[in-house]
Amino acid sequence: MSSTSSPAHADVVTERLILRSWTTSEAAAVLDDAHSTHWADDFPAEGDRVVAGLFDQHPVWLGAYGHRLIIERESGLVVGSIGLFWPPSEGVLEIGYGIVASRRGRGYAPEATRSLAEFALAVPEVHTVSANVELSNPPSVRVLEKAGFQRRAAEENEENMARFTLTRPDHSQR
């Protein structure tokens, strides 16, 4: 993984992807159902619309440790989004992701998830990145497993959920 641009909003670059912070104009375009020539034909998905609609309430999500567009390096097209739900709570930061249907099955989601989690774990106030997944969504469970996350016991009131975490090596799990 390497980074480009300024450290404050550095892109996270993987072998096949660029994870770049959203701009306010991109969020507005998603909410207005405008389609950019820089987007895959099936972008945005419903989850992308939800996130774009929350930026006004959570402006920090537009920052370096917030939500990012997933750009396919080969085509230059936006093929999904991934996000960190900043700020962390007691050192734990939640992650969420989605790849458009036309690009699923290529390993993009695990590649992006692992890279953004590693990016987050480099921040001193973050020791764990977590994700909650519905058990009725086995592909998402597999994404987290491939990205190196470990399955943990779900909360008592979340019987249909699985909790996954990736923890910085120097931090012991309790």
151 within domain boundaries: yes
- Count of domains observed in the chain: 1
pLDDT at 2: 39
Tell me, yes or no, if the pTM score tops 0.75: yes
Q: What is the pLDDT along the chain (174 residues), one digit of tens a residue?
A: 433 333 446 899 999 999 999 999 999 999 999 999 999 999 999 999 999 999 999 999 999 999 999 999 999 999 999 999 999 999 999 999 999 999 999 999 999 999 999 999 999 999 999 999 998 999 999 999 999 999 987 666 667 899 999 999 888 654
CATH number of the domain to which 144 belongs: 3.40.630.30
pLDDT at 77: 98
Three-state SS string across 76-126, please? CCEEEEEEECCCCECCEEEEEEEECHHHCCCCHHHHHHHHHHHHHHCCCCC
59 within domain boundaries: yes
Beta carbons of 69 and 62 less than 8 angstroms apart: no
pLDDT at 130: 97
172 within domain boundaries: no
64 within domain boundaries: yes
87 within domain boundaries: yes
Q: How many residues does the chain have?
A: 174
Amino acid at 128: T
Residue corresponding to tokens 């519905």: 134
Q: What is the domain extent for residue 96? A: 2-167
174 within domain boundaries: no
